[in-house]
Amino acid sequence: MRVVMFGYQTWGHRTLQALLESDHEVVLVVTHPRSEHVYERIWDDSVAELAEKHGVPVLLRNRPDDAELLETIKAAAPDIIVANNWRTWLPPEIFGLPPHGTLNVHDSLLPAYAGFSPIIWALVNGEERVGVTAHRMDGELDAGDILLQRSVPVGPGDTATDLFHRTCDLIAPLVRESLDLIASGRAAWTPQDRSRASFFHKRSVEDSRIDWTWPAEDLERLVRAQSDPYPNAFTYHRGERIRIVSAAVSQARYGGTPGRIFIREGDGVVIVAGADARGGHRKGLLVRTVRTDDGTEYAAGDWFRTMGGYLTARP
């Protein structure tokens, strides 16, 4: 099949590499210009550079809303469009143009976690598995019929970075198998159960701010979800922003006010957590490693030399 590919960052790069190694012909690539957005500088393997290396024509667009792009796609005469991590909505005159429509690859187990940053949100929310979905694009966000899904388990110590690498490894076989099924006429499409759908927005600085009224179990997952190279979960100590690099749930239960720097336990310092922590039934967040804005890391016991005082959401 003749393939036009829409994609960006490492997800798009992996998809394009799989297409180039397949039996199908990539006739055009459309990708976004490089961005300075903090999350778009992460996993930023260049789709444009890979396409140019293989002699595939490339168009750079922020949005797919100009007549020149549509005419170029028509001239390429694709049998199918394949998209992965295209950051804006594709209009129906594009996604419905090829005979086989548009196959979108999304890094969640749809219908859950449609939208943005699904792996991070899934880890924060304690999901047991994450994965990727190949589905037919339609007029709603990540809502089209599903062709294939592949997943991996989430381990108790996994970070978002670990899960990124594991789910990225699923892209190439998923893309190749999907295209082979479509080309051979053996594709079986399954409508999504829209009653199970959930939608998530892009991550921002605010989403990394620690709210000490969250239970320690949730905060521990937030720290793992905001692992390097993502912007770390952060809080304020005596007016200075500190990032929580490593943490765990405490062994004992600690009562009091959320955010209180309470006691040393093992290799860390326990911070009281949970809106109902005053009842003494909650475990705390055992902070092990912190990092200041200049990049210096400290063992929690070295940074919090005395107990008492509070960590706060703002200076």
Token pair in block for residue 48: 């444009």
pLDDT of residue 82: 98
Burial track 225-236 (b if 16+ CB lie within 10 A, e otherwise): bbbeebbbbbbb
Q: Is 111:196 a contact under the CB 8 Å cutoff?
A: yes
Token pair in block for residue 271: 């911070």
Amino acid at 174: L
pLDDT of residue 40: 75
Q: Is 258:213 a contact under the CB 8 Å cutoff?
A: yes
Q: Report the alpha-carbon distance of residue 75 to residue 67 in Å, rounded.
A: 12
For the chain, the distance separating the N- and C-terminal CA atoms, rounded to the nearest angstrom, is 57
Q: Kindly calculate the radius of gyration of the chain based on its CA atoms and give it in whole angstroms.
A: 23
Token pair in block for residue 216: 């320690």
pLDDT of residue 35: 80
Prediction pTM value: 0.93
DSSP assignment letter at 190 = B
Q: Is 71:37 a contact under the CB 8 Å cutoff?
A: no
> Which has the closest alpha carbon to 288: 239, 230, 208, 219?
219
Q: Is 284:250 a contact under the CB 8 Å cutoff?
A: yes
> Which has the closest alpha carbon to 219: 187, 195, 244?
244
pLDDT of residue 37: 76
φ, ψ (nearest 5 deg) of residue 17: -60, -40
pLDDT of residue 291: 98
Q: Report the alpha-carbon distance of residue 64 to residue 60 in Å, rounded.
A: 9
Q: Are strands 240-253 and 234-237 parallel, antiparallel or unpaired?
A: antiparallel
pLDDT of residue 38: 77
pLDDT tens-digit profile, the chain (315 residues): 999 999 999 999 999 999 999 999 999 999 999 887 777 788 889 999 999 999 999 999 999 989 999 999 999 999 999 999 998 989 999 999 999 999 999 999 999 999 999 999 999 999 999 999 999 999 999 999 999 999 999 999 999 999 999 999 999 999 999 999 999 999 999 999 999 999 999 999 999 999 999 999 999 999 999 999 999 999 999 999 999 999 999 999 999 999 999 999 999 999 999 999 999 999 999 999 999 999 999 999 999 999 999 999 999
Sign of the torsion angle spanned by Cα atoms 65, 67, 68, 69: positive
Token pair in block for residue 164: 């990124």
